[in-house]
């Protein structure tokens, strides 16, 4: 079976080539994102493997099915909000994902963002490089005894909560599906409104759905504690960037750390160091002293890349053999 990878980086090639030794699939790596034009111009392939910013709408799926003979779409991520599942079903294309890959690594990255913001480590680092050892302006906040709100208590959220327990925090949770493990470890489920009102720190681990889009917006920001710190390693669209900036500039929001951005598709995973970025909201956001952004790298660990490669290749092998997928939650359509 031929598999065409879009948005492919060198680390994708390294890990998929390693795990492909057990399958001997024909792998083609395309560094560009998938869109309608590239779907039209690609070489015929039985399967494609895509990532978070690839465009897999109804038009693209129609081209993949009718022109390129694609039978399978494999998402090498947990999210699938960029895939038109109804169109996939219409054209009899099976879709799978990696439902969980080292959830600890994403939770750990969220904690890294929080610690860096709280103790101003990023500012201290740049001072040291310029031989400035003064401590003025570096007064931070302790995480101990803070109330932490976890929006989304799936595998990543639960791991984040465990770490917060270790810091001596009170942990509140909100999720449509409550987790017995979250409660067993000391977490308390409350309404979304209560969580937003009481939390000193809010961490977002929700999927991007119509009901979760812009869960942080002008109206919800009004209900937050003054000085709240928000961490987002879920999806960029969970936060209304314009409203967020207003909340930070009014000093209602005390800090924001994120590994995602709502318009990241034209920015992330590329070297734009020699270009002028036209996104004014992004430029303003990154200029604020209490904002810390990383470029969607929370998943980027050896453990996660190994799990992603092994899961995707297993999924496609089972599709090819007509088997039900053995990985719980991997089958989408």
Is residue 333 a contact partner of residue 80, using CB atoms and an 8 Å limit?
A: no
Return d(Cα 305, Cα 91) in angstroms, integer. Answer: 30
The residues facing 293 across adjacent strands are 258
Provide the annotated active-site residues: 235, 264, 296
Give residue for tokens 């500012």: 123
Q: Give the DSSP letter of residue 236.
A: G
φ, ψ at 194 (rounded to 5°): -70, -40
> Which residues contact residue 190 at a Cβ distance below 8 angstroms, ignoring those fewer than 6 apart?
172, 173, 174, 198
φ, ψ at 80 (rounded to 5°): -145, 25
Return d(Cα 208, Cα 235) in angstroms, integer. Answer: 6
Estimate the share of the chain in helix, then strand, then coil, as percent rounded to the nearest 5.
Answer: 40, 15, 45
Return d(Cα 83, Cα 54) in angstroms, integer. Answer: 9
Is residue 173 a contact partner of residue 205, using CB atoms and an 8 Å limit?
A: no
141: how many CB neighbours lie within 10 A of its CB? Answer: 16
Is residue 119 a contact partner of residue 171, using CB atoms and an 8 Å limit?
A: no
């Amino acid at each position: 079976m031929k598999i065409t990878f879009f948005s492919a980086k060198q680390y994708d090639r390294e890990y998929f080539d390693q795990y492909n030794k057990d399958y001997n699939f024909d792998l083609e790596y395309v560094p560009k994102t998938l869109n309608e034009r590239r779907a039209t111009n690609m070489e015929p392939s039985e399967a494609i493997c895509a990532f978070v910013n690839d465009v897999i709408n109804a038009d693209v799926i129609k081209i993949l099915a009718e022109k390129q003979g694609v039978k399978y779409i494999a998402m090498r991520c947990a999210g699938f909000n960029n895939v038109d599942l109804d169109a996939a079903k219409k054209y009899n294309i099976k879709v799978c994902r990696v439902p969980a890959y080292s959830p600890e690594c994403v939770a750990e990255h969220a904690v890294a963002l929080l610690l860096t913001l709280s103790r101003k480590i990023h500012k201290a680092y740049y001072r040291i490089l310029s031989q400035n050892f003064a401590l003025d302006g570096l007064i931070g906040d302790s995480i101990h005894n803070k109330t932490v709100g976890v929006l989304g208590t799936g595998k990543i959220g639960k791991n984040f909560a465990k770490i917060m327990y270790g810091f001596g925090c009170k942990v509140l949770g909100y999720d449509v599906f409550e987790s017995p493990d979250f409660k067993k470890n000391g977490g308390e489920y409350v309404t979304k409104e209560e969580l937003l009102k009481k939390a000193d720190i809010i961490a977002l681990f929700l999927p991007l759905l119509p009901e979760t889009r812009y869960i942080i917006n002008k109206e919800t920001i009004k209900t937050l504690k003054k000085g709240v710190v928000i961490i987002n390693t879920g999806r960029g669209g969970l936060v209304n960037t314009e409203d967020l900036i207003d909340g930070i500039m009014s000093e209602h929001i005390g800090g924001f750390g994120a590994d995602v951005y709502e318009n990241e598709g034209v920015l992330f995973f590329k070297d734009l160091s020699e270009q002028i970025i036209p996104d004014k909201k992004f430029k303003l956001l990154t200029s604020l002293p209490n904002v810390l952004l990383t470029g969607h790298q929370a998943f980027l660990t050896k453990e996660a890349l190994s799990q992603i490669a092994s899961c995707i290749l297993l999924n496609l092998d089972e599709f090819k053999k007509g088997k039900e997928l053995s990985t719980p939650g991997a089958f989408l359509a």
